Amino acid sequence: MKLSLNIDKALKETRVTIEGPELDENIQELIDFIYEREQQFLIGKKGEMQHILKPDDIHYFHTENDHIIAVTETDSFILKEKLYELEAMLPSKKFIRLSKSVIANLNQLSRFEASFNGTLCVYFKSGKKEYVSRTYVPAIKEALKLNRRKVK
């Protein structure tokens, strides 16, 4: 990897350009790091109050009655963002899609159970649970490195 840095007082804003032959894991980590630094909080609504939410405190996001809900350990908040917008802005190493309607914070998972129909039930540190659709099971297994050597 080659790194170039250009400091120029004539520039009005900071610009980051990443060039490479393909989008690999290293480039994705850089992108996630930059976005994580840029996106330090979300705004959630509860009643008439607006709350500042740190992404690390959110256990998962889910859809409910045409709203996106951010669930923390103790509360839930309505967000303005769409689920696909959250997925694009949150670091992919920390947040993963569990189904069409749920994005989870990997750092807030406590355990999981496999079910007979090929899905997973994921439990959060708060005790709440969500299900991983069969479509997303391989991605969650990879993220959690569940395909390591088999225990005898």
Mean pLDDT, range 120-129, rounded to an integer: 90
pLDDT band at 33 (very low <50, low <70, confident <90, very high): confident
**pLDDT exceeds 60 at position 147:** no
pLDDT band at 115 (very low <50, low <70, confident <90, very high): confident
pLDDT band at 49 (very low <50, low <70, confident <90, very high): very high
Domains and CATH numbers, the chain: 42-144 (2.40.50.1020)
Tell me the DSSP string of 6-67: ---TT-SS-------SS--HHHHHHHHHHHHHH---EEEEETTEEEEE-GGG--EEEEETTE
| CA–CA gap between residue 151 and residue 139 (Å, rounded) | 21
In this prediction, residue 43 carries a pLDDT of 93
| CA–CA gap between residue 68 and residue 81 (Å, rounded) | 7
**pLDDT exceeds 60 at position 146:** no
Higher pLDDT, 28 or 36: 28
Mean pLDDT of the chain: 86
Mean pLDDT, range 48-61, rounded to an integer: 94
Label residue 137 exposed, middle or buried (CB < 10 Å: 0-12, 13-18, 19+): middle
**pLDDT exceeds 70 at position 149:** no
Helix, coil or strand: residue 107: helix
Mean pLDDT, range 40-58, rounded to an integer: 92
Q: Give the model confidence (pLDDT) of 55-112 as tens digits.
A: 989 999 999 999 999 999 999 999 999 999 998 888 777 899 999 999 999 999 999 8
Q: Please give the order of strands across the beta sheet that includes 120-124.
A: 109-114, 120-124, 129-132
**pTM score:** 0.70
In this prediction, residue 123 carries a pLDDT of 92
